[in-house]
Amino acid sequence: MAKHLTTKDIQAIVTLIDSWKDKLTWEALCDESAPLVGNRPTRQTLRAHEQINSAFEHQKERLNSGAAVRKRAPSLNIAAERIRRLETENSRLVMENQRLLERFMRWQYNAYKFGVSQEKLDAPLPFVDRDSAEGKS
Q: Which residue ranges make up each domain of the chain?
A: 7-113
List Cβ neighbours of 121 (8 Å cut-off, separation of 6 or more). 111
Tell me the C-alpha to C-alpha distance, in Å, between residue 19 and each of 13, 29, 55: 10, 12, 11
Q: How many of the other CB atoms lie within 10 Å of CB of 29?
A: 22
Report the percentage of the chain scoring pLDDT > 70.
88
| pLDDT in the model for residue 70 | 59
Of residues 90, 70, 89, the one with CA closest to residue 80: 70
- Specify whether the CB–CB gap between 3 and 38 falls below 8 A: yes
pLDDT value at residue 67: 58
Closest CA to 84 of 62, 106, 52: 62
> Count of alpha carbons within 13 Å of 33, Cβ hemisphere only?
31
Beta carbons of 28 and 60 less than 8 angstroms apart: no
3-class DSSP state of 105:
helix
Kindly give the parts of the chain with pLDDT less than 70. Answer: 1-3, 66-72, 132-137
